[in-house]
Structure 1
Amino acid sequence: MSADWYRRTLIYQIDPSLFLDSNGDGCGDLRGVIDRLDYLQTMGVGTLWLLPIFASPFRDAGYDISDHRQLEPRFGSEEDWRLLLREADKRGIRVVLELVLQHTSNQHPWFVQARRDRHSRYRDYYIWSDQPVDDGNQPIFPSVEDSIWQWDERAGQFYRHLFYRHEPDLNLANPAVVAEIEQIMGYWLDLGVAGFRLDAASHAVEQAGGGDEEQGVWLLERLSTLARRINPECVLMGEVDVEPERFVHYFGDGNRLALALDFWVNNHLFLALARGQAEPLIRALHRRPTPPDGASYAVWLRNHDELDLERLTERERKEVMEVFAPDPHMRAYGRGIRRRLAPMLRGDVAHQALAQALLASLPGTPILRYGEEIGMGDDLRRPERLSVRTPMQWSAERNAGFSTAASARLAAPIIDQGPFAFAQLNVVAQQADDLSLLSRCRRILQARANLAEVGEGQWQILDSGHPAVFAIVHRAQSSSVMICNLSGKPVRLGDELNATLKGYEPILADRNHAAPEHESLTLAGFGYRWFRRQPSEL
């Protein structure tokens, strides 16, 4: 074990309510996660990121928390939680929880007390005003909320909510609120979590600084100090959707966030996929700052929200939308796409595998969302972001093997129609098929899990000699070259890249390649090839 373990891990994001229902009540639970730990281990998963498991009215998938220290009963008991940690540890898997510190549910006891009594200590736990204030912020969900201020009759004032009106913003400039958050962190760290994903971290930092980001980074330093005092290996992973130059505020000198979720690279990765050209991704990597010691980036393809494209120019955003979300109902909030990766890539297994290989090639810690490894689809009949939040498809059995409950009791409808229906798209159907997406993803992720240099070393973009080809070398004690073809057409690589590969051995490819050494290297459409050179050969 080491303090920089997060550089060498693969993170798998799970919504426990939608993963596996162990008791037939229609909702996934911790026992269900435990039951599938071996499945995750076979993919090389080293860290589980669990979406909120805390007490909540569940009007926002658990992000509307009513008690940060209480486990939501639908997920199981404290013993189930302890068992999950023990069983995960046996398999070398850590567990990271959400830390929702920017807001609470309006049913949280703090807010209930704040509404009742203007002189209560809890009144200053939230942000109030006699009149709506234009502080430069706009609603996070503009098609749902038309203001960030909500009148409360009982309180006799407006309260601020950047997100939904049932999620009042916490006053993080109040030291008493931060002290409460520290106690919450301490509680879960004592129970054995390896770290926290800080929800809406950039908004929280601004709130802590009274609207000034640079003045608010003290919050990250304070939380990081507390976390590492309890567990020196604890990691804070922040949701930081900002311009790349601003990442420095969130890293500090390695004393703030250990991992920054990199929306900047994520946006440009999809621009590269839309164009079938590597340039946007290369440009994005070159612009993002080198993180200090003790910090790094987290990279992913799709998550549980919309694919927010705010880091692109208006023209670039329109370009991505036209390729991956041509119909208006595929879009959300005027800025993003509410589709899963597989439908965006038309269900093409080779294209999806290429996207996963490309992700695993990037400098940073890769994150895989549950179901991405089998190419799960979306349900655009569901509103907003719920379209990408459907139960895991384990088998062709009833309810996709997710639950034995009646369909009306399920936490969300199963995808049972179209090309992504569970009857033909599920884990069991792909397990024994060597050409399935699941098999390809396993090979990619297992290979990535054994390449410490990708997380720890220095990287350099290589000249591939072709605009569709992304080529990168990672160097530490060992050296790896990873090459991906973003186009659907075969390509022949340039002489310079062929010369660079002298002395490297192939370790992964989308198909068998038996070309003689004197021939130029080729890639199939949506192909990928990885090579490695050991220390003795450097």
Structure 2
Amino acid sequence: MRSSWYSDAVIYQLDPRLFADSNEDGWGDLPGITERLHYLRGLGATCVWMLPFYTSPFRDGGYDVSDHLAVDPRLGDLADMAHLLETAEDLGLHVLVELVTQHTSDQHRWFQEARRDRSSPYRDYYIWADEPNDDIQPMFPDVEPRTWTWDEEAQQFYRHAFYSHEPDLALDNPRVRDELYRIVAFWLRMGVSGFRVDAVPMMLERARAARPDTDGQWLVRDLRAAVSGQRTGAVLLGEVDVASDEYAHYFGSDGQGMTMLLDFWSNNHLFLALARGQAEPLERALRNQPAAPDGATYAHWLRNNDELNLVRLSDGERTEVLDTFAPEESMRVYGRGIRRRLAPMLDGDPRRIALAHAVTLSLPGPPVLRYGDEIGMGDDLDRPEREAVRTPMQWSSTPSAGFSDAAPDRFQAPVVTGRYGPEHVNVDEQSVRDGSLLQRVGALVRARLGLSELGRVRPETWDVGVPSVLALRYQVEESSVLLLANLAGEDVVARLPAGEVSVLEAGQARYVDVHVDQDYAAVKADGRIPLAGYGYRWLRRTIDGDAAGSSTSESEENS
């Protein structure tokens, strides 16, 4: 893979409504984010992925957009966005924003015009029918069992794959696609580095409707051309939750499709591996992952803004993960996923949470960190659906979590209470406590930034004789790293393959720790590598006797 800014990126996903409130109104905002960008840079992030900040009723976390070209007044204005982008650039941070054009809010001017008058040019911006049909499946069957809703003013049904207040856009209409390209151009001129593209498979469904003799991928190519023509190096990060053998279509055979794909297939199998305490499911997923074309890559994550959707697993595997990480019905949603944060799923054990991050950070392509996971934030299962994982960032131990000085009843969402409340989980305390989860995750992120091999080649999965150990070897010319992670709670001893042992015994190479979870003895010529329960060791193979890095434990890294 040729080197680009995103090859070695570490992406931090945040929700502008819930990150930091600068004006005491109970809503997070763009100035609040700007004030905290130094924190993200110190963590080691190189890219900020901002969830929707556009004008919206915020009935669906801002994905119900009512104006794609404006900042919601509760979050700031365009001048605030310009200042945020300038500050990010000064800090060496790229910024990705959401491109939500599969649907709009029903409060969008386009839809309001469309419903009033059948002859309006905006009528054909949406999908209408006198008699509905079940041409698509609802995304949230527990809440919206049908995908068509009668509109009394329009005197027709309109289609919505998501919520009934989010009518689907008719992307088969060239005027709607022109609006899409205008939105892209606007934000690129503002200075963003690209877009996370929402619901890409649903967008292509309309592209196929426009050109039934195609697979719809021409829309992805046209979008990529619009982005690349406006700003060199700008990226499209696609939400493409499909079977892994379909990924190649979204990249494009010549790499002129999506720049990056969020790899749902590997994500599902990562959690199956964590549930079993065995590496095999994730190793299998990586082996079956189609190679990305030159200049394209996958992005990996643990949790995001939605449910942990487990549809890429078999029924038996899905049940296994649900029973392990969501044993109560209140923890599940939509008959397919988990509505919990990472830390509660892993029983709040800092070792397991750090290990999960170590695994994600060892995968090929950019890792994505969800805001608050670096400190082990919890969830609020009293909130409906996916809102359980959408709570204010916990900066301090105060009841307001340092998120806002407004009265709590004005907060966009309540602060988590109980075991994961801010008095127990917050940035301030973990910033100064040796061995805290924040310090462990930060050390992992910064160590990963020094391993350029991970952004350039696909790894080999090595059998090291222990089923619980994930072993990924990256080789770029003479440079080689081996990343080990023990998914089980028991101490183990991994063993290098026989061929490597013979090289070590001959004194032709050695393995040197570049990052570890604790102090370990140096790797000896017999190739035995001890690992603690939920431990990890990142090693570099050196052939000249001059180690590429020195052994570092968590305490040394953070002193």
Tell me how far apart the structure 2 counterparts of residues 38 and 44 of structure 1 sit (CA, whole Å). 10
Q: What corresponds to 1:319 in structure 2?
A: 320
Q: What corresponds to 1:270 in structure 2?
A: 271
Q: What corresponds to 1:363 in structure 2?
A: 364
Q: What corresponds to 2:553 in structure 1?
A: none
Tell me how far apart the structure 2 counterparts of residues 304 and 522 of structure 1 sit (CA, whole Å). 36
1:521 matches 2:520: no
Deviation (angstroms), 1:479: 2.0
What does the per-residue CA deviation read over 1:293-329, in whole Å, with 9 as the maximum and x for residues that have no partner? 1211010000010000000000000000000000000
1:232 matches 2:232: yes
Tell me how far apart the structure 1 counterparts of residues 286 and 93 of structure 2 sit (CA, whole Å). 29
Cα 1:379–1:106, aligned 2, differ >3 Å: closer, same or farther?
same
Tell me how far apart the structure 2 counterparts of residues 349 and 16 of structure 1 sit (CA, whole Å). 26
Moved over 4 A (4+): 211-214, 534-538
Deviation (angstroms), 1:398: 3.5
Deviation (angstroms), 1:248: 1.1
Deviation (angstroms), 1:134: 2.2
For residue 511 of structure 1, the aligned residue among 513, 518, 524 is 518
Deviation (angstroms), 1:366: 0.3
Tell me how far apart the structure 2 counterparts of residues 533 and 485 of structure 1 sit (CA, whole Å). 20
Q: What corresponds to 2:300 in structure 1?
A: 299
Deviation (angstroms), 1:3: 7.2
CA contact (8 A) 2:300 2:365 kept: yes
CA contact (8 A) 2:9 2:45 kept: yes
1:530 matches 2:529: no
CA contact (8 A) 2:399 2:422 kept: no
Q: Which moved more, 1:325-334 or 1:67-76?
A: 67-76
Tell me how far apart the structure 2 counterparts of residues 233 and 78 of structure 1 sit (CA, whole Å). 23
CA contact (8 A) 2:267 2:300 kept: yes
CA contact (8 A) 2:3 2:456 kept: no
CA contact (8 A) 1:214 1:249 kept: no
Amino acid at match of 1:366: P
Deviation (angstroms), 1:43: 1.5
What does the per-residue CA deviation read over 1:317-372, in whole Å, with 9 as the maximum and x for residues that have no partner? 00000000000000000000000000000000000000000001111210000000
Q: Which moved more, 1:334-343 or 1:125-134?
A: 125-134
What does the per-residue CA deviation read over 1:101-136, in whole Å, with 9 as the maximum and x for residues that have no partner? 10000011111111111121111111111111121x
Query: Counterpart of 2:183 in 1: which secondary structure?
Result: helix
**Residues 476-487 of structure 1: matches in 2 within 5 Å?**
476-477=476-477, 478-487=479-488
Tell me how far apart the structure 2 counterparts of residues 122 and 128 of structure 1 sit (CA, whole Å). 12
**Residues 150-299 of structure 1: matches in 2 within 5 Å?**
150-210=149-209, 215-252=215-252, 253-299=254-300
CA contact (8 A) 2:523 2:529 kept: no
Query: Counterpart of 1:176 in 2: which secondary structure?
Result: helix
Identity of aligned residues (%): 51
Cα 1:5–1:536, aligned 2, differ >3 Å: closer, same or farther?
farther
**Residues 114-125 of structure 1: matches in 2 within 5 Å?**
114-125=114-125
Amino acid at match of 2:113: Q
CA contact (8 A) 2:12 2:371 kept: yes
**Structure 2 unaligned regions, length at least 5:** 549-559
Cα 1:458–1:327, aligned 2, differ >3 Å: closer, same or farther?
closer
Tell me how far apart the structure 2 counterparts of residues 505 and 523 of structure 1 sit (CA, whole Å). 14
Query: Counterpart of 1:493 in 2: which secondary structure?
Result: strand
Amino acid at match of 2:382: R
Tell me how far apart the structure 2 counterparts of residues 391 and 214 of structure 1 sit (CA, whole Å). 44
What does the per-residue CA deviation read over 1:122-152, in whole Å, with 9 as the maximum and x for residues that have no partner? 11111111111121x2110111011000011
Deviation (angstroms), 1:213: 10
Deviation (angstroms), 1:461: 0.8
CA contact (8 A) 1:53 1:62 kept: yes
TM (norm. structure 2) is 0.93
Tell me how far apart the structure 1 counterparts of residues 64 and 523 of structure 2 sit (CA, whole Å). 59
Tell me how far apart the structure 1 counterparts of residues 400 and 261 of structure 2 sit (CA, whole Å). 36
Amino acid at match of 1:101: T
Q: What corresponds to 1:472 in structure 2?
A: 472
CA contact (8 A) 1:331 1:337 kept: yes
Query: Counterpart of 1:42 in 2: which secondary structure?
Result: helix
Tell me how far apart the structure 2 counterparts of residues 518 and 12 of structure 1 sit (CA, whole Å). 39
TM (norm. structure 1) is 0.97
**Structure 1 unaligned regions, length at least 5:** none
Deviation (angstroms), 1:535: 9.0
Q: Which moved more, 1:20-29 or 1:488-497?
A: 488-497
Q: What corresponds to 2:555 in structure 1?
A: none
Tell me how far apart the structure 2 counterparts of residues 163 and 214 of structure 1 sit (CA, whole Å). 25
Amino acid at match of 2:530: T
Deviation (angstroms), 1:536: 6.6
